[in-house]
Structure formats: C-alpha cells, structure tokens
Amino acid sequence: MHHKTAESHAHGEAPPTAGRTIRSWARFYDAASWLLSFGRAPAIKKMIVEMAAAVPGEAVLDVGCGTGSLAIALKAEAGATGEVHGIDASPEMIEQARRKAARAGVDAGFEVALIEEMPFTDARFDLVVSSFMLHHLPDDVKRRGLMEVQRVLKPGGRLLAVDFGETGTSLIGHLLSVLGHGHGQASLEALMPVMEDVGFVEAEVGRTRYRSIAFLRGKAPA
C-alpha cells in the first residue's frame, strides 16, 4: 500500500493529508527562511545537526524534509557508509530537494510521502529527525505520525523533533508565520504523553539556545 501511494504521487500529485502542505512557493522557501530568520537559518540547521548526533554508517530519515537542506547536512555526518532519506508531502519541495542534492553531489534519497503513512519497512532507521514540521499537523495526525516514526525506527533508535516554542510571543515567530508555519505553539510539551503512550522511552522536551525554538526527543524501545 505504501509503495503504491508513493508511486501514485510521483508526478506532481500531493498525497491527501489533514496537515498543511507548502507547494506553490516551494522554490522561494530557502530565501524566505533566510530573510525571515534574520540570516540565522544556517546556524539553526547546524544546531539541529549537532543535536541529532548522527554517526557514520547510520540510516537517517528526515520527515518533512522540505527543500532537503537538513538531510544533505546529515548525509555528511552519516558518511559514505550511511544513508539518508527525506520525505515531504509537497512534490514541489521534493523536486527542490532532489535538485539541491544533485547540485551538491550528495547521495540522499527524497520522495513524496506522509509522516502518517511512510513507505519504509519496520525497524529501518537508526535516527529520525523532524524540523519545523509537527506544528503543521493536527493532533490526530501527530499521534499517527509518531506511531509511524516508532515503527520505522530500529530498537533503540532515536527521534529528534525541533519546532517553534511560544512563537506567539516572539518577533521571529510572527515573521515565520508568513512562511505558512501557522501561529501559536508547536505544543511539543503536549506531545510528551503521546510519545510515552505510543511506546517511546527516555522522552524529553526542552528549549534550545534560540528562545523561540524547542526540541522533543525520545528512543524506540530496545
């Protein structure tokens, strides 16, 4: 079923989802992110890579990969013996990611797919990352997505999600809402009981050095 879904959306069709999908201006997303983050987008990406702590030889998945910048950076950490895949609900984002990887000479795979219905076998990845994507999803899709993440993680595999915290009180949060990121909170704190309910262990939530950005992480049971 998953492979059929991926194939059916290989030619510009977006898979149906209750989450928000950025499509029409995907080719401008990187420039807009740089401007609206006051040029901090590269530093934020570097921070996420450091927090993810991928090591050579690992299999890594970037869920909601957008234009592929984070996945490409993670491939450098996973090395030639590792592998990196990125999925996004937006065909336009995946097109940009594939072009970017090709220009950079980076061997990373990108495909149109949903967090709530991923085209991967069980216990496939050592590490799953998600950046600024969970707030696009309604609560029921977040739950289903976390269940899928745990399914594709190897025993003891890691999840790192980075998203906006209390964006409603910060200037950068208001500006980033222009990018289609919505308003309010990503409610990562509210996902802690969901993480535990679907079986993650060692779940924790906290703030990064950027006041408006929070993280959530946990592990699949060993």
Q: What is the CATH number of the domain that holds 40?
A: 3.40.50.150
Question: In what order do the strands lie in the sheet containing 213-219?
Answer: 109-112, 83-88, 59-63, 125-131, 153-164, 213-219, 201-207
- Report, as an integer, the average pLDDT of 84-89: 97
Higher pLDDT, 89 or 186: 89
pLDDT at 37 over 60: yes
| Cα atoms in the Cβ-side hemisphere of radius 13 Å centred on 186 | 27
Answer whether residue 73 shows pLDDT above 70.
yes
Is residue 21 situated within a structural domain?
Answer: no
pLDDT band at 41 (very low <50, low <70, confident <90, very high): confident
Which pLDDT belongs to residue 99?
A: 96
Q: Is the pLDDT of residue 69 over 80?
A: yes
Mean pLDDT of 126-148: 93
Instruction: Tell me what pLDDT residue 166 has.
Output: 59
Q: Is the pLDDT of residue 160 over 90?
A: yes
Quick check: is 18 in a domain? no
Q: How many domains does the chain have?
A: 1
- Percent of the chain residues past pLDDT 90, beyond the cut: 64
With helix as H, strand as E and coil as C, how does the chain read? CHHHHHHHCCCCCCCCCCCCCCCCCHHHHHHHHHHHCCCCHHHHHHHHHHHHCCCCCCEEEEECCCCCHHHHHHHHHHCCCCEEEEEECCHHHHHHHHHHHHHHCCCCEEEECECCECCCCCCCEEEEEEECCHHHCCHHHHHHHHHHHHHHEEEEEEEEEEEECEHHHCHHHHHHHHHCCCCCECCCHHHHHHHHHCCCEEEEEEECCCCCEEEEEEECCC
Which domain range does residue 119 map to? 2-13+28-219
pLDDT in tens, 167-176: 444 445 544 4
Average pLDDT value over all residues in the chain: 83
What would the mean pLDDT of 193-207 be, rounded to a whole number? 94
Place of tokens 């050592």: 126
